[in-house]
Amino acid sequence: MTAPTGLTAARLATPELLRSVFRRHAAGVAVITARGERGPVGFTATSLTSVSAEPPMLSFGVGTGGSSWPAIAATEHVGVHILGEHQQELAATFARSGADRFGPATSWREGPEGVPVLDDVLAWLVCRVVARVPAGDHRLVLAEVLLGDPSGTGRPLLYHQGRFNGLRD
């Protein structure tokens, strides 16, 4: 495939091209949690998407090389947490490889179906995993919403240009 005339900056598809383009796409920040064999696991996700209203379903991507993948691959239930702009450090902790994600700095409790539920988030859901779809080095997880709480206060945390940011008017 060649670039149309006049598009001299166009580059062939590479992982770096995809990353560069999506750094320009502002996305909401979520943390996905699950109960693993050795305790709770979780990771920061910017790929959260509403899929269906009837039944209520969502999706998110998870890398198969990540430390949370074995638990996500085996679990029946996950927690989905929408972070507020006051939670930049929490987002960074769950994004950092090797971090103590459920250590003393993280306030959480065991929720329905044994799912770790983070405190002080804008909203959270507990979902039943219905499918894991192969997608390159990731899996797209489809999950049916079972219950949740949208009553947190504050403004959403966004990810843009490789950094966590607040929403600006």
pTM: 0.91
DSSP three-state, residue 100: coil
Distance CA 78, CA 64 (A): 16
pLDDT of residue 3: 53
**Do 29 and 47 form a contact (C-beta atoms < 8 A)?**
no
How many residues can be counted in the chain?
Answer: 169
pLDDT of residue 11: 86
The answer to whether residue 5 scores a pLDDT higher than 90 is: no
pLDDT of residue 167: 82
Best CA proximity match to 80, nearest among 37, 51, 100, 103: 51
Cβ-proximal residues to 59 (8 Å cutoff; 6+ apart), any chain: 47, 48, 49, 51, 140, 141, 142, 143
Least confident of 22-26, 34-38, 87-91: 22-26
pLDDT of residue 2: 56
Position with higher pLDDT, 9 vs 28? 28
Helical H segments across 24-150, by residue range: 69-74, 88-95
**Do 43 and 66 form a contact (C-beta atoms < 8 A)?**
yes
Give per-residue pLDDT as tens, 46-61.
999 999 999 999 999 9
Give per-residue pLDDT as tens, 144-162.
999 999 999 999 999 999 9
The share of the chain scoring above pLDDT 90, in percent, equals 84
CA terminus-to-terminus distance, the chain: 40
Distance CA 4, CA 156 (A): 38
Q: What residue type is 5 in one-letter code?
A: T
**ω into 55 cis (within 30 of 0):** yes
Rounded to the nearest angstrom, the gap between the alpha carbon of residue 121 and the centroid of all alpha carbons in its chain is: 13
pLDDT of residue 4: 58
What is the average per-residue pLDDT within 92-105?
95
What is the average per-residue pLDDT within 115-141?
98
The answer to whether residue 43 scores a pLDDT higher than 60 is: yes
The share of the chain scoring above pLDDT 70, in percent, equals 95
Instruction: State the average pLDDT for the chain.
Output: 94
Cβ burial 66-83 (10 Å sphere, 16+ → b, else e): eebbebbeebebbbbbbb
The answer to whether residue 81 scores a pLDDT higher than 60 is: yes
